[in-house]
Amino acid sequence: MNRPALSWIRLAALVRKEFIHISRDPRSLAMAFLMPMILLILFGYAISMDIKTLDLAVYDQDKSAASRQYVEGYQASGYFRVAGSIEDYASARAQLDRGQVHLALVIPSHFARDLEQGRSPKVQVIADGTDANTATIALGYAEAVTNRFSTVRQHATIELAVDNRVRVWYNPDLKSRWFIIPGLIAVIMSVITALLTSLTVSREWESGTMEQLIATPVQPIELFLGKMAPYFVIGVADVLFSVAMGVWVFGVPLRGSFLFLLGVSSMFLVGGLSLGILISTVAKSQLVASQLAMILTFLPAFLLSGFLYSIDNMPRFLQVATHVVQSRYFVDVLKAIFLKASPPRFLAEDLAFLGLFAVVVFVAALRKFKKKLT
């Protein structure tokens, strides 16, 4: 069927109307900014992969100068705090059980003697494995302290053949916040965009104005663009606001091009807002729309975007599934822009997928939306 071309008068009217809705409802506008702020603060502070200080219980059976020097090595590393000395295994177990300490260190009674005789004494480190992540990192640190102790001891006698030094690029101190915040911005934005547009369309179904609209000559594309335009502006403002918070509140360096970041965000926003519209073609009440938007955006963005959990470590089928998760690409690109200052050509694949997602979802929403009641 031949349709008349898109009418700019109608589109402008729809956009203007949407802006009026937003301006007359300051609470929802405040929500659009409060939500990312609260989420950034909550997640930014709560999710931290860094381990600050680990409490250590020491069961020193040797009580020699050497063993004390070894324990001091822990203290001096800055990762551990010696919480106290204990005199038996039972106390070690009790303190670990109660969660008073993260680790217990057991030094055998022949520690100093073995060292003197050039034998390697066996030191036992017991970690609380209920928090596997912390335990692994703690054991790593403990190993590092032990190695250091060994090298210092050996250094006195022989020269080391290899000087083993690790350098971490982009995030030299391995501050987890540096990679969490850019990812978090992507996660938050994918939730907000889908929520904003799906709510505004389902509200019209609820209030009965949609029935009126579909009985006018308005075209679906005008309707959708009219809905998306104002929220695109809000979305851009949200991105800028979140980036500003990342840089100035959380101290994450923004190394890449700001304009590039803006460009990528725009592509992402079009996809996210279209997803909201697509949701609203199915969900005709605000309640269902918001639930659907949360399920379709928050869960995948949180779990499958590589924001927290590396996609490379996922089982194969999940890795494949992550390709349809829009936030995956945005997480990737934001991290790269923030920390690596990567130029666009290095991120071509991510950008292509972001663009594809936006087009496919927008077209799907257009096809799904009928100017009909059911």
- Binding interface with other proteins (CB under 8 A): 1-3, 7, 9-10, 12-13, 16-17, 20-21, 24-25, 207-209, 211-218, 371-373
Cβ–Cβ < 8 Å for 188, 196: no
Sign of CA dihedral 21, 266, 338, 184: positive
What's the per-residue H, E or C state across 272-297? Answer: HHHHHHHHHHHCCCHHHHHHHHHHHH
Cβ 233 to other proteins shortest distance, Å:
18
Token look-up 């939306």 returns 369
Cα angle value 349/168/48 (rounded, 5°): 80
Strands 103-107 vs 124-127: parallel, antiparallel or unpaired: antiparallel
Q: Which is nearer to other proteins, 24 or 167 (CB)?
A: 24
Q: Which is nearer to other proteins, 25 or 87 (CB)?
A: 25
Amino acid at 321: A
Q: DSSP secondary structure string, 19-33?
A: HHHHHH-HHHHHHHH
Tokens at 119, concatenated: 């034998």
H/E element holding 106? strand 103-107
Cβ 4 to other proteins shortest distance, Å:
8
Cβ 257 to other proteins shortest distance, Å:
39
Cβ 275 to other proteins shortest distance, Å:
25
Q: Which is nearer to other proteins, 3 or 165 (CB)?
A: 3
Cβ 9 to other proteins shortest distance, Å:
5
Q: Which is nearer to other proteins, 25 or 72 (CB)?
A: 25
Token look-up 């303190």 returns 95
Nearest to 257 by CA among 271, 241, 268, 243: 243
Q: Which is nearer to other proteins, 87 or 211 (CB)?
A: 211
Cβ 291 to other proteins shortest distance, Å:
20
Q: Which is nearer to other proteins, 5 or 168 (CB)?
A: 5
